[in-house]
Structure formats: C-alpha cells, structure tokens
Amino acid sequence: MTGNTIQLDKNGNLKHFLTTEGLSQSLLLSILDHAESFAGVGERAVKKVPLLRGKTIANLFFEASTRTRTTFELAAKRLSADILNLNIATSATSKGETLSDTLHTLEAMHCDMFVVRHANSGAAHYIATQVAPHISVINAGDGRHAHPTQAMLDMFTIRRHKKSFENLRVAIVGDILHSRVARSEIHALSTLGVLETRIIAPQTLIPKDAENLGVQIYHDMDEGLDGVDVVMMLRLQKERMSGALLPSEYEYFQRYGLTNKRLEKAKPDAIVMHPGPINRGVEIDSDVADGERSVILQQVSHGIAVRMAVMAMIMGRQPDNMGDTE
C-alpha cells in the first residue's frame, strides 16, 4: 500500500503524507531541507511564522498519543494555523455516528487538513480517499502500517549528526513485527541510500516479509551492533510480555536491552535513538538513555520542525523570507 497516486498531486507535489514507502529521494530530502528552515523558530522570541495563517488543521486521534498529538499541535500553532483537537472518545463516533459522517461534519467546518492517528492499518489512506478534494491528510500512525513523520524526524536527527546517509550502518532493535515506526524507518533509510539497515530482534518479533524489506536480520544483539553508526531502539509494549512472543522483561533486557557495555560494539561516535516513550530497564538502560550519545530529546524537538515542514509543503507554502508574526 504505497498510495503514491493519492499522496502526490498532478504536479508531483505532496498532497497527503501517508507513508514514506515509494516516495522519491528528492522529496524526502526536500522535507528535511524545509525542516532545517523551521528548526530555529522555537528559539525565537515570537515562536511563530505566518505561513498557514487562516488555515484550519484538525487533529483526529482515534488512538491516544500525547507526544505525537502535542508536537503536531505545536507545529500547527507555530505556522499560525488554527488547530482543532477532536476528542474521539467523547465525539459523535462513540455515539454511533459513522466515520464518514464525522468527516463530512468537519469538512462543513471548513477544515483544510486532518492529522489522523488510528489503531487500524490503512485508516489514514482510507480517510484520504473519502475527504473533499481540498482537504489533505497526514498519517500520524496507523496500526502496524506506517508512521511517516516519526521516520522523517529520525532521518532529520541522523542527518544533523552524520551529515549524509550514504556510508551509514543503522541498527533497528526491538519489536519489528508490530512497529509502524520500524517499517517507515526502513523505507526512508533505503530511499535515502544508507549502506546497510539491520534489524535485531527475537525470531518471534521479526515480520515474515522482513527479507523483502532489504534489511540484514540479526538475532544476536552484539553481532547486530558491531560497527553501526546509528542504534534505533523501539518501544516494547509490556502487554505483549505475557504472551508467547516474548520472554520475561528481565530475560528480554538481558538479550536485547541496550547497555553501555553493549554500545561499545557500535562505532565510538554512534548515536542512540528511541521514538519514546521509553521503558527503562526493558529496552534501554537509563545510563544509555540519559548518556552523551543519546539524541532522544533532540528527536522530540526535531519532530516539531519536521511536522511544520510537512504541513507547509502540503499547503504549498515555502519557508523563504519567514517573518515573525505580531
């Protein structure tokens, strides 16, 4: 499900942002370049630019995520857009109204963009096919399928530290099977031309189609980390610990938890990433999460700039000659 016929307009510009899969290298690099222009806005006395003044963006979160929703909200406000946060739990959809009726109601409120998070894979793509032509959709995470803005903020973080992608070895560690983040990361890394992408996980947490993703598969943590430039840790959902897919938390940490000793296998200047929230002592040791090689908090900051970039590009706005709003 690449969805490129719907993601791009007739001129090849971004209309929706649903997945990193199938998008061109030039388009991904353009997102990163735009984000670079927005990165300093948060340090201004007035943390706003007028690019999306008069536009209305609705956050439609059918699945809870405070961190992602908040960064999208901040991104929209810094672009001077009006932002609507729809509480799905108390909205009409919980009272029996169909999703289609809810969308049409929001369209009647003259919204310009929907930011969608949903537990079902493909939900954002479906919504993009149902909305009016003037409305754009950004996928803020759908089931196990994709989380494209998370992938792009991670790409932005990597480029800031490593300058280019061509010679990098990147290791993604953890629950690859259930992770929409991992899939979006793998597609983006491949498109941007990294030398090698590795996935490290127990056999039970490796997708059946992993070999088709162009990655190197490791089940041994030390082997997988050997000589890598970037270590991406994934959040492990504790509710899966009680099932047959995983051993105990203690055993998992012993085999796949990132410690300073394990990090010695990577290159001396390797960076450590995590999409958050962190399960300390399960997937990563606190000494590593808070250590000098961790860029986890930078990822959060960069998420605002990247989401500003995606919103502005979709709306056809360029960050040239940005002025502070009054």
* Active-site residue, 144 included: no
Catalytic residue among 5, 66, 95, 163: 95
Catalytic residue among 16, 145, 147, 183: 147
Catalytic residue among 34, 55, 78, 117: 117
Alpha-helix runs per DSSP H in the chain: 4-7, 25-38, 66-78, 99-108, 123-130, 148-162, 180-192, 221-225, 249-256, 260-263, 286-289, 296-314
* Active-site residue, 56 included: no
> Quick one: tokens of 104?
């049409």
Catalytic residue among 44, 53, 67, 110: 67
* Active-site residue, 117 included: yes
* Active-site residue, 67 included: yes
Distance of alpha carbon 212 from alpha carbon 218, whole angstroms: 15
Contact status, residue 230 vs residue 270, Cβ threshold 8 Å: yes
Angle between helices 25-38 and 148-162 (to 10 degrees): 70
> Quick one: tokens of 32?
């990163």
Distance of alpha carbon 24 from alpha carbon 3, whole angstroms: 13
Catalytic residue among 15, 16, 34, 68: 68
* Active-site residue, 274 included: no
Q: Counting every residue, how long is the chain?
A: 326
Instruction: Give the residue numbers annotated as catalytic, written as ranges.
Output: 67-68, 95, 117, 147
